[in-house]
A and B are shown apart, each in its own frame.
Chain A
Amino acid sequence: MRRTILIALVIAATVVTALVAAPLFKTPAAPTTFSEAASMMTRTAVSVSLLFVWIIVAIVVTLMSGREVRYSSIEVRTSPLHCFALGLVAVTSFVLTAILFSYLIPYLVGLPLLIALAVFAVLTKVYGTIAVFHAIGTIVAGTRSRDVLLRRRWLRGDLAMVIIGVLLLGAIRLIPMVGTIAWGIASVFGVGSALATKFGRREPWFLVLRTAT
């Protein structure tokens, strides 16, 4: 019952998000003029340059907190539906909270709140997306047996899994339309996994009040 409600909630939220976001997408068309082809080349150059930045950030974050990234990655693989639902709701909450804070800008308090929200949202997205890179890398190139793991020279360890994930998702991102959607879905999963595991620390977000007996 609970699972059915969760699936229905995810589908409904996805449809609403897609309907709201639809006007932002443009119909993909093959370049017909030289300037369109040049523009497409520039867009690809920008995407690949950003992918290089993603690789650097992913390496630094994985070296700094590999265990946390691994825990979040495990969460994506064991509870994907929960991560996706949480990610969608969290992104919606970020947007609504940003709109609310933007109304408070004339009262001075709005701007610092908006900056704090933006920093938190960016950190959540970056960390979560790296966890998704790890999850994709592990699904594609991870080992199931100890023998295979010991035989491998390069394709093992958190760092390798993250790099495999970045390269795969980065390659998919270059596909027009599909790439944008795939990257967006990965970001939603990432935000969900980052929040579900409290950035890999696996601590509760809220304290439970227990009365003394």
Chain B
Amino acid sequence: MNDACQRYAEDPEKNAAHLRECETCRSLYAGVETRPVNVGTLPLAAWEGARYRSWPLVLGGALAVLAIALALCAAAGISPIAALAVGFRSDSARAWIALIDQKLRPLGPLVFATLFIIVNTILVLLLRRAPRGIDA
């Protein structure tokens, strides 16, 4: 295999003349069936058009939500900053943890330790599975 053979392997269409000159390549590629691919018939890949940034939609959506938020804050008689502060302060996660702690406490440390080990073992087992995603 020389440089010309390598070039033909990399780009057969551009170096088609090489096939007439080289006996080795002719015998090697004789059995290979080539068909033109119609890209339009292939299924749409997830990344096609994904990088397109639709700024009118983004800005329109964001400004519409901002306008509704400001109108509702004005109607409720609170400032938007105060509304955000209330939203961030209402910590439901802390209430959940306190509630579950309260329910688990009477069961004792042994039950808690067993539960902790079981849950984390299942978590590790589930995390070991490779993502399917684009390969599906």
A residues with CB within 8 A of B: 9, 20-21, 23-24, 38, 41-42, 44-53, 55-56, 59, 63, 66-67, 70-71, 74-75, 78-79, 82, 85-86, 89-90, 92-93, 95-100, 102, 121, 143-147, 149, 153-160, 163, 166-167, 170, 195-197, 202, 204-206
Contacts and interface: CB of A to CB of B under 8 A. Distances in A.
Contacts of B87: 46-47, 49-50, 53
A59 B129 contact: no
Size band of the interface chain B makes with A: 35 or more
Interface of B: 40, 44, 46-54, 56-58, 61-62, 65-66, 68-69, 72-73, 75-78, 80, 83-84, 86-88, 90, 92-93, 95-97, 99-101, 103-104, 112, 115-116, 119-120, 122-124, 126-134, 136
B134 A71 contact: yes
A53 B85 CA distance: 12
Contacts of B90: 46
Contacts of A44: 72, 76
Contact of A99 (B97, B124, B131): B97
Contacts of B123: 86, 89-90, 93
B48 A95 contact: no
A44 B78 CA distance: 12
Contact residues of B: prevailing secondary structure:
helix
A101 to B, nearest CB: 10
A70 B103 CA distance: 39
A59 B112 CA distance: 40
A93 B124 CA distance: 11
A159 B51 CA distance: 8
Contacts of B86: 42, 46
A59 B66 CA distance: 14
A63 B87 CA distance: 25
What are the 4 closest A-B residue pairs judged by CB atoms, nearest first? A157-B52, A45-B72, A160-B54, A78-B136
Contacts of A121: 93
A74 to B, nearest CB: 4
Contacts of B52: 156-157, 159-160
Interface centre among A21, A42, A53, A204 (most CB of B within 10 A): A42
Given A154-B57, A157-B53, A95 B103 contact: no
22 contacts: A23-B99, A45-B69, A45-B73, A47-B87, A50-B84, A52-B65, A74-B133, A78-B132, A79-B132, A89-B123, A90-B123, A92-B119, A95-B100, A146-B48, A147-B40, A157-B53, A157-B54, A160-B54, A196-B127, A196-B131, A197-B133, A206-B128
